[in-house]
A and B are shown apart, each in its own frame.
Chain A
């Protein structure tokens, strides 16, 4: 938990932003796929902290990449250099480590790109190989970061492969298969990745659920345990799960 100073915000077009914070403890400790909960000083509305994957780190700084879609994210995009937020983290279980020489395919949809830069850094350090498959509705919804190349898919064919990113991977599977598959994006995309590839390649999914606390305090973020009874907590047991650990269906107490 640390008070973090805003250093600046960059607009990436549309409603997408990257904000840089001075947050040395989190920058030092965070692993790819982990997240932070951000709350705004002296503000009771929004009341609860907001969850963000740590996008990247540089020295003592943390970068968050987000879509301004509601009260909290809009407020974040309007913070000025020098403003303070409280950052709780790093929280949760991130992506597993990968050994040298292994190939990982990373599947992202929309703002799921948030997890890629930090992940790519670690994979490079490990001498692992990776490819990023990025899907969106149209070219203008695709997210690109400097120095990170992607194979793109758009629903309308305006850029790259014409179809979903899952179709693109299905096609690529006919020539080649990775040692691991990582996915981050909308739940519908994760479900498709799980059912298409989960049984073929070790697959890891970064899930999203509404979160009040991010620490396992509230039980607000249940994710159904595969084939079994009960729930994991997305914040504490995840947000990254092995594909065969979870189901996307319902399954609470029936009475």
Chain B
């Protein structure tokens, strides 16, 4: 017998907790070469901006131990071309689409949300308030609690469907940011975007990527993001979507136990584009082995005495 893997984020019903992470599978349709994307809980688009963006000058990426740094600079085709060229393909392939948006100004977040609001193919919006690599990425808003609350509120007024705020981990008390998003009406929070990181070429004595610092992702960040997911889970009632270093099914289960309702797959897709297939099988077998009928029994089931935490 199979266990029930469905989850809910606000009114959004997902067939399973696996989503793609923004910017790690093109626009999502490219994944179909490797497996049927209709099997995913949801596809999250690359961060879309009002106008197309070329992105940062190379080199944009470098590998570090068990992870990577990127400074893509939100290179994307712009919201309009996404809607005309990509959305129909994603719909035909049967994908559940969540659109991720990024902007430099509060007004632009609102304009983007208005453009997306009328589209029946789009099931939700993820606000990128956390890109470490460009001014447009919203990090300025994302690391200022009041600004984050204000933008979430403005978007909430024009966007009636499921609204998710993607948080930056580069702050001291991420729980407070999650509370601000919740207070402004977000239906969920994604924890988290990449960490600011850096790597140096010791022979040339130059930074390994052109923007000097970049976003650190991959298995190396998983314990860091695990702690943030747990912190946010304890701070808010809305669902938490974990994003950080998932490679195997065990990583996904670990996040679910720590309080995540869904899990995004990012860097792993560069190496294993069909990773979701193995991870789903792994979660399913684990559930059966552990005698769990529904993911609801697993989510946030960590057995721990919070009083033992040195700083809560």
Residue B259 lies at the interface, judged by CB distance under 8 Å to chain A: no
* Cα–Cα distance between A220 and B75 once the two chains are bound (Å): 10
For the complex formed, measure the closest distance between the CB of B211 and the CB atoms of chain A, giving whole angstroms.
9
How far is it, in angstroms, between the C-alpha of A217 and the C-alpha of B247 when the chains are bound?
17
Contact status A210-B59, CB under 8 Å:
yes
Give every chain B residue within 8 A of A48 (Cβ-Cβ): 63, 68, 270-271
B60 touches A (CB below 8 Å): yes
* CB-contacts of B18-63 with A (<8 A): 23-26, 30, 33-34, 46, 52-63
Known interface pairs A215-B30, A231-B75. Does A255 touch B68 (Cβ–Cβ under 8 Å)? no
Q: What is the bound-complex CA distance between A213 and B269, given in angstroms?
A: 8
In the bound assembly, the distance between CA atoms of A252 and B55 in angstroms comes to 6
The answer on a CB contact under 8 Å between A1 and B34 is yes
Cα–Cα distance between A39 and B67 once the two chains are bound (Å) = 14
Q: How far is the CB of A139 from chain B (nearest CB, A)?
A: 26
Chain B 188-229, CB-CB to A under 8 Å as 1, else 0, gives 000000000000000000000000000000110000000000
Closest chain A CB from B246 CB (angstroms): 12
Contacts of B59 in A (CB 8 A): 209-210
Q: A251 — which chain B residues lie within 8 A by C-beta?
A: 54, 57
- When distances are taken between beta carbons in the complex, the residues of chain A under 8 Å from B134 are 253
- Give A231 to B218 CA distance when docked, in angstroms: 26
Instruction: Decide: B56 and A252 in contact? CB cutoff 8 A.
Output: yes
Contact in complex: B61, A212 (CB < 8 Å): yes
**Given A45-B66, A47-B218, A48-B271, residue A219 in contact with residue B72 (CB < 8 A):** yes
Within the complex, what minimum Cβ distance (angstroms) separates A143 from chain B?
24
Nearest-CB distance from A248 to chain B (Å)?
11
Residue of B33, B57, B270, B274 near A49 (CB, 8 A) is B270
B72 lies within 8 A of A218 (CB):
yes
Known: A39-B271, A48-B63, A218-B70. A253 touches B26 (CB 8 A): no
Which residues does chain A contribute within 8 Å of B269, judged by CB atoms? 213, 217
- Complex contact B26–A220 (CB within 8 A): no
* CB contact list, A36-59 vs B, under 8 A: 37, 39, 44-49
Residue of B nearest to A72 (CB): B63
- Asked if B142 is at the interface (CB within 8 A of a chain A CB), the reply is no
Q: How far is the CB of B48 from chain A (nearest CB, A)?
A: 13
* CB atoms of A252 and B270 under 8 A apart: no
Q: Give the nearest-CB partner of B72 in chain A.
A: A219
- Report the Cα distance A44→B25, complex, angstroms: 20
Cβ of B273 under 8 Å from chain A: yes
Q: Are B58 and A47 within 8 A (Cβ)?
A: no
Kindly list chain B residues whose C-beta atoms are within 8 Å of the C-beta of A255.
135
Q: Please give, as numbers and ranges, the residues of chain B lying within 8 Å of A250 by CB-CB distance.
A: 57-58
Q: Are A219 and B30 in contact (CB under 8 A)?
A: no
Q: Are A215 and B273 in contact (CB under 8 A)?
A: yes
Within the complex, the shortest CB–CB distance from B274 to chain A, in Å, comes to 7
Residues 221-263 of B, flagged 1 when their CB comes within 8 A of A and 0 if not, give 0000000000000000000000000010000000000000000
Q: Is the interface of B mostly helix, strand, loop or mixed?
A: loop
Q: Contact at B219–A47, with CB atoms within 8 Å? A: yes
B73 within 8 A of A: yes
| Distance of A220 Cα from B24 Cα, bound (Å) | 10
Nearest-CB residue, chain B, relative to A223? B58
Contact of A253 among B56, B63, B66, B267 (CB under 8 A): B56
Measured CB to CB, the closest approach of chain B to A237, in angstroms, equals 13
Does B2 touch A at the CB level, under 8 Å? no
Do residues A216 and B26 form an inter-chain contact, with CB atoms below 8 A?
Answer: yes
Would B56 and A218 count as touching, CB distance under 8 A? no
Chain B min CB distance to A69 (Å): 13
Tell me which residues from 217 to 255 in chain A have a Cβ below 8 Å from any Cβ of chain B.
Answer: 217-222, 229-231, 250-253, 255
A45 and B68 alpha carbons, distance in the complex (Å):
11
Partner of B70, one of A46, A220, A222: A220
Q: Using Cβ atoms and an 8 Å threshold, which residues of chain A touch B70?
A: 212, 218, 220
Hey, which chain B residues are within 8 Å of A88, CB to CB?
273
> Within the complex, what minimum Cβ distance (angstroms) separates B243 from chain A?
15
A217 with B30: CB separation less than 8 A: yes
**CB under 8 Å from chain B, chain A span 1-27:** 1
A46 — which chain B residues lie within 8 A by C-beta?
63
Q: Which of A49, A209, A213 contacts B58 (CB 8 A)?
A: A209
* Interface contact B61-A231, CB-CB below 8 Å: no
Once the chains bind, are A253 and B273 in contact (CB under 8 Å)? no
B65 part of interface (Cβ distance < 8 Å): yes
Q: Please tell me if the beta carbons of B73 and A252 are within 8 angstroms of each other in the complex.
A: yes
Residues in B with CB closer than 8 Å to A215 are 26, 30, 33, 270, 273
Report 20 cross-chain contacts, Cβ distance below 8 Å, ordered by A residue: A1-B34, A45-B66, A48-B68, A49-B270, A209-B59, A210-B62, A212-B61, A212-B70, A215-B33, A216-B26, A217-B24, A217-B25, A217-B26, A219-B55, A220-B60, A220-B70, A222-B55, A222-B58, A230-B52, A252-B73
Other than A37-B271, A47-B66, A213-B271, give 16 A-B pairs with Cβ distance below 8 A.
A1-B34, A1-B274, A45-B65, A47-B63, A48-B63, A49-B271, A86-B271, A212-B270, A216-B26, A217-B269, A217-B270, A217-B273, A220-B61, A230-B52, A250-B57, A253-B55
Pairs A-B, 7 closest by C-beta atoms: A252-B57, A213-B270, A220-B61, A230-B54, A250-B57, A219-B75, A219-B72
